[in-house]
Amino acid sequence: MSYPGPASGPPQPERPRRLRRGPLTVALAALVPGALLGWVVYEAVGSSGGDSGQAAVRPATGSPSASGESPLTSPSGREGREGHEDRKGQDDKKPGASAGPASTASAPAASGPLRGKVVVIDPGHNPGNFQHTAEINRKVDIGTHSKECDTTGTSTNAGYTEARFTLDLAHRLRALLEAQGATVKLTHDAGSPSWGPCVDERARIGNAAHADAAVSLHADGSAPGNRGFHVILPAAVHAGAADTRPIAAASRDLGERIAGNFVRVTGEAPSNYLGGGTGLVTRKDLGGLNLSTVPKVFVECGNMRDSTDAALLTSGAWRQKAAEGISEGIVGFLRGS
């Protein structure tokens, strides 16, 4: 999803008519450039708060005015996920090489409790994956085995895609964390790269950034009636290029804090079909977790195929709450409180 800027600039002043050069004319000629300059500055500053198309966020304050985004029809509808536990193993979700710039980084804030901390946000999938099926189906090594570079992700029955959801949520989460002083990097952003990155590259971006915490954002595609969120934690994997043993405990701490705050802020219940009501699931088949050397979790914010969950996921106000819940979990983890 792209986030275009304003469609048009400020109106241009009309060209003044030719006047006789008298004393008053000369005085006016001297004043007009200054007035125009002041007008331009006013327009640049006063208009900067307009909606650029990105999720407008006011750090730590309420919800945006927009109630949701218009649906983007998925060319393939349900993308052929596997069922329940095994299905999300395909979502990471699929490993492979990078298809573009490594990351999108924010400038560190001048102050705040998270100054000096680095957070990597990984918006699951990419809106362009539908047009690059050959690339995302290429196999990559995730340590324990090989699997596809990525998948298209799922969507609501009305066509609102997981990839659009995760990008919007990532922008909201980034704004909240930057307001706390953190340096935030995204594994990809709107239109760059045009597909992917593959899941092995997503893990490497967090590793290269020496992230203090990394969070991959998703929404599930399970059967109707399956509701709620869950946080996926890395198992203690040691195989091939994968060794999550050094990060397993810290990742669990991060995941538990996110789950607790997600419930409190959003009111969304833990998954009724995974995790035994805890909202926590441990996995060893996701490349984005297996190859991470920094504390990392996946957050499945709800089930897009359930109409009740879909109504939440497509609401801008609810997505703001989701960003706040995840942010507060990350802040608690990084501050140890």
Q: Where are the domains of the chain?
A: 84-335
Pairwise CA distance, residues 328 & 264, whole Å: 10
Mean pLDDT of 317-328: 98
pLDDT at 208: 98
Residue 219's φ and ψ, nearest 5 degrees, are -140, 145
The answer to which of 26-35, 63-72, 93-102, 215-224 has the lowest mean pLDDT is 63-72
Q: Which CATH superfamily is domain 84-335 in?
A: Zn-dependent exopeptidases (3.40.630.40)
Please provide the size of the chain in residues.
337
288: pLDDT strictly greater than 90? yes
pLDDT tens-digit map of 185-243? 999 998 889 999 999 999 999 999 999 999 999 999 999 999 999 999 999 999 999 99
Q: Distances in Å between the alpha carbon of 261 and those of 143, 265, 322?
A: 32, 6, 9
Q: Which residues are catalytic?
A: 300
Per cent of the chain over pLDDT 70 is 67
The answer to which of 90-104, 195-209, 291-305 has the lowest mean pLDDT is 90-104
